[in-house]
Amino acid sequence: MSYPGQQAQAQSLAGTVPVATAVPVEQAQPVPQGYVTGQQVQQPALALPLPGVVQGTAPVVQQMHPGAAVVQPSYQGGLQVGGYSFVQGRRQFLVQQHFEAIEAAANTAGCGCIEFENKYDVYDLKTGEPILFVKESSGICCRWCCKPNHTATLNAYDVRPGVPPDSLAMKIEKPFRCNCITCCDFCAHQHKTTLGDGATYVGSARKKVPCGGCFSPQLELKDGNNEEITAVVKGPFCCVGGLIELCKDIRFEVNDPKTEQSIGKIIKKKPEGLKGKFKEAVGDHDTFILELANNVEDARVANMIATLLLMDYIFFEGGSPIRFNPVDQSCQCNCWNWYCCGCLCPCHCQCGGNQGGGYQQ
């Protein structure tokens, strides 16, 4: 199985676009340093400015519904930039984590403390167009000693074709939280997200308090005023992560808190092919699909993308499923993680070594 972001081929712009508003392909701005996809994607036709819109004007805040302020983007060369323009008209996304070979080799060899800053690519699932490049920023001591519960800031850059370089779309703040039973706010993994301007609060998400959904992971998303719950994400019963990631897709449902109707889903995709399974068995190379209903507001879509990244840290960043111990020449496999009241408890089996193998919990 392959995804649109991996198959789409580069195509030239068709049609005649007025000189005053077009951005030639050869003048496309470079993406932020560190953004590498190794893929060709389809270049969409450039949109023309809307009648009566002055190019380069500052964003305007309009009240779209109670408790949610939506920022209207500005226009640069006919392309919408700023605000929620990076998700406008998009409700299906593909998120791929960058694979770190050195980190994977160190973890597999028993040096589990070595952890690089995570990087992600976000694509439009339908067209394969790159939307965001997300890069973690965190302190090395906290990251190496406390992963994946460490404090981190995730900077999401708008990398759509024609957008100026280093255009910060969102900033996601992930505070330090322990892997323990979720009894209060301090124990609940969470994030708070703002737009790139730093002044517009997108929303937040955290594990449900108390008990984190008991035996099924549950996260609550709140709006820009951090008051109203706008969505609830519910995961599978009990077993999350570990070697089961290699065998099956792991699905999380996104429900409306008022009607309890489904408004979307998040799917942690199983790796395809032997190469993909090997990468995920020894390191972090996660792939997610996010699909939302067409009537979900842009602010909630942006908050869902941030929540998906938080979920990767909570459930799928606890270390490689297969590890070797060169000292006693043993192999340890993390079969799955039990989820109970917000706490993940790994279930291991060991082969060889001084202990002679067996099941551990």
Q: How far apart are CA 229 and CA 220, in angstroms?
A: 7
**Is the pLDDT at 44 greater than 50, yes or no?**
no
User: Would you state the structure tokens that stand for residue 210, as one six-digit string?
Assistant: 């108390």
Given this model, what pLDDT does residue 233 score? 96
Report, as an integer, the average pLDDT of 252-264.
Answer: 94
Distance between CA atoms of residues 257 and 228, nearest Å: 10
- Of 31-35, 156-160, 219-223, 252-256, least confident by mean pLDDT is 31-35
Quick one: which of 274, 268, 265, 216 has its CA closest to 242? 268
CA separation for the pair 266, 221 (Å, rounded): 14
The mean pLDDT value for 158-175 works out to 94
For residue 303, give the nearest of 217, 249, 211, 233 by alpha carbon.
233
Q: Which of 109-118, 169-178, 191-200, 300-309 has the lowest mean pLDDT?
A: 109-118
DSSP string, 127-160: T--EEEEEEEE--HHHHHHHTTSS-EEEEEEE--
pLDDT value at position 279?
87
Is residue 162's pLDDT more than 80? yes
| Range picked from 68-77, 99-108, 121-130, 320-329 for highest mean pLDDT | 121-130
Examine residue 148 and say whether the peptide bond preceding it is cis (omega within 30 degrees of 0).
yes
Give the lowest-confidence range in 15-24, 122-131, 246-255: 15-24
pLDDT at 65: 44
Task: Give the range among 24-33, 141-150, 276-285, 317-326 with minimum mean pLDDT.
Answer: 24-33
Residue 332 has what pLDDT? 81
Query: What does the pLDDT look like over 107-154, one tens digit per residue?
Result: 777 777 788 999 999 999 999 999 999 999 999 999 988 888 999 999
pTM: 0.76
Q: Is the pLDDT of residue 161 over 50?
A: yes
Closest CA to 219 of 285, 154, 310, 144: 310
Q: Which of 12-21, 34-43, 67-76, 145-154 has the highest mean pLDDT?
A: 145-154
Q: For the segment 181-225, what is each residue's pLDDT rounded down to a tens digit? A: 888 878 889 999 999 888 899 999 999 988 888 889 999 999 887
What is the percent of the chain with per-residue pLDDT over 70, rounded to a whole number? Answer: 75
Q: How confident is the model at residue 336 (pLDDT cuts 50, 70, 90)?
A: confident
pLDDT band at 286 (very low <50, low <70, confident <90, very high): very high
| Residue 345 pLDDT > 60 | yes
Which helix (H) or strand (E) is 65 found in, with range? strand 60-65
Q: What is the DSSP code string of 170-228?
A: EEEEE----SS---SGGGS-EEEEEETTSSSEEEEEEE-TTGGGTTS-EEEEE-TTS-S
To the nearest whole number, what is the mean pLDDT of the chain? 79
CA dihedral 306, 307, 308, 312 (to 10 degrees): 110
- Return all residues near 2 (Cβ < 8 A) that are at least 6 apart: 272
Instruction: Yes or no: say if 77 and 22 are a contact pair by the CB < 8 Å rule.
Output: yes
pLDDT of residue 25: 40
Collapsing DSSP states into helix, strand and coil, what is residue 230? strand
The b/e string for 315-332 (b: 16+ C-beta within 10 A; e otherwise) is bbbbbbbbbbeeeeebeb
Closest C-alpha to 318, from 112, 96, 110, 103? 112
Residues 6+ apart with CB under 8 A from 239: 336, 337, 338, 339
